[in-house]
Structure 1
Amino acid sequence: MEKRVKWYVGLSYFVFWFMVLGLCGTASMVFHCPPVVMRILSNICAWAPTIVLLIGFKYFCPDRRIADFYKKAFGGKVNIVTLVASAILTLGATIITVFVLSLIQGKAFGEYWNLGSYPFWASFLFSITTGPTGEESGWRGYLRPYLNAKYSFFSASVIQGVIWAFWHTILWFVDSDYMGIQMIPYVLSNVIVMTGLCFIMNLFMEKNDNLIYSIVIHFCFNFLYCFLQVDIWFYVVLSAIYIVIIALICWKKNVMSKE
C-alpha cells in the first residue's frame, strides 16, 4: 500500500477517534448535551474521512483537482434497476435477519421494531447525513479505486471491509450496549457485516462506478437501525446472513469469470 494511502487511512482513524472523544465526549460529560445534540455531533464526526481527504487533497491526490475527483466519483452511469436491487439486497439482509431471529426466539416480527425517539423525517435526515454522505467520499471515492486496482475483487473487498470496520473501534466501546463476552460476537459481526457491505458495493459499482450506489447501500443499512430493538443474537444471525451474501457474490464472480 502506498505511503500516501497509509497516511490517509491513519489520519482518518486519528481524526475520527479524536472527534468522538474530544467533541462528543466533552459535549456529553462536561456540558451534558441532550440526545438530539449528541446525534448531530456524532453525524459531524462521521465526516472525518471526507474532512481528511479534502484538507490533504493535494497530498493524497497530486495533480488532481477536487472538482475532477468528484466528477469521476459520480461520473458512472446509474441504472435504476441495479440501484433498486442494491437497496433491496441491503434492506432485505436486515429484514431476513429479524425474521429468522423471530423464529428462533419465538417472538412476533413486530416486537423487534420501534418508531424510535425521532419523527420519521428526522430519522431519515440523520441517517443520510451521517456515514452515507460523510464517509463515502473517502472510503469508496478514494480508497476503493486504489485497492481495486492493486488487488483482486475478493482481496480488495476484504481489505476495505477490515479497514472500514476497525475505523469504528472507538464506537464499540463508547456507543455500544454490549460488554464482556458479548463484545466478541459484536465485534466479529461488525467486521463480517462491513466486509459484506464492501462486497455488495464492489459488485454493483463494478459496472456502474458511481458513489450513488455506495451512498444508497450505506443509507439502507443504517436507516433500519433507527427502528430496531434487538439483542446480541441479532448480530450473530446478521453475520451468518452476510457470510452467505459474500459466498454468493464470490460464486457469481467465479461463474462470470468462466463465461
Structure 2
Amino acid sequence: MSPGDGNDDDLYGGTGQTRTRLPDGGQGDVYGGAARRPARSSSRSLITVVGVVVLLVAAIAFANRGDSSSDSDAKKPDTSPTAPTGTKPVASGFAHDKQGAQSAAANYAVALGSAEMFDRNRRHAIVDSVYAPDVAADRQASLDKVYAQEAFLSSIGLNDDGSAPSGSKFVSRIIPVGTKTLKFGSDSATVDIWYSSLFGLAGTDTKNPVSESWFTNTYELRWIGGDWKVTDFQQKDGPVPVGRDQRASTADDMAKAVEQYGGFTYAR
C-alpha cells in the first residue's frame, strides 16, 4: 500500500516541519514565578540533545512489563494483543495487521524514549526486544557510545554515571498522540507516530528544567518470529500546537507528579 491511501486504519496522521519549544537558559526555579511558557529557542545544540534522547524511543514498556502470572490469571478476561485491558501491559505479541503495527510503533516509542534507557542493563534488554536481530547489535553499540559520553550526559544535566544530581528528578517520557500507517505488506510496515516528549530535570537549581517538545517518528517494521520488530526509523520536528498561557508548575510539584503518576506502558 502506498503513502496516502485513505482507510480507517490510517489515523491521526500529521506532516509538516515546525519548530519545537525549548526551555530558556535561565537559572533558578523556572517552574515558579512568572505565568509564562518557556520561550522558543533556535539553539540547534539543544534540539540535537533532545533528538538523540528521543532517538532511543522504545523502553518503559519492556522494562516494566515483568511477569505478572499468578493464580488470579485464570480470572482475567481474554484480551487480544492490541486490547488496552487486562492487568499485564501489552508490550509484545502485536497483531499481524495494520493496527498491530501501529500499536508496536507506539509502544516502542514509549520505551525507547524513557529514562530506563540511561541504565545500561535496561537499555540492552530494551534494544534486544525492540529491534530486529540483524539490527540490534549495531544499534546497541551505537547507543552505548552515546550514553558513555560524559559531555552528552553533562549537557543534559546528569552525572557521569547517568544518574540525576542530588535534589533533582530526571524526567524522560514520550506521550503518543496518534499513529498513521504509511505502507503495509504481509511482512513489513511503515508507521508514523506523532508524540509529545517531556524531558529534563525537576529541581530547584537545574539549568535543564522539564520542557515539552513535539516530534513525529517514522518506523520501518518487519514481521519476525511472530511479532513486529524495528529495522530503522527517522525523526522530524512537529507538528507543534499553539501553547496556552498556563502557569508552569514548581520544581517540587513536577518531581512529585513524575513519582506519583506512572508512565503508560501501553499505547493504542
Q: TM-score, normalised by structure 1?
A: 0.29
Greater helix fraction, Structure 1 or Structure 2: 1
Greater strand fraction, Structure 1 or Structure 2: 2
Q: TM-score, normalised by structure 2?
A: 0.28
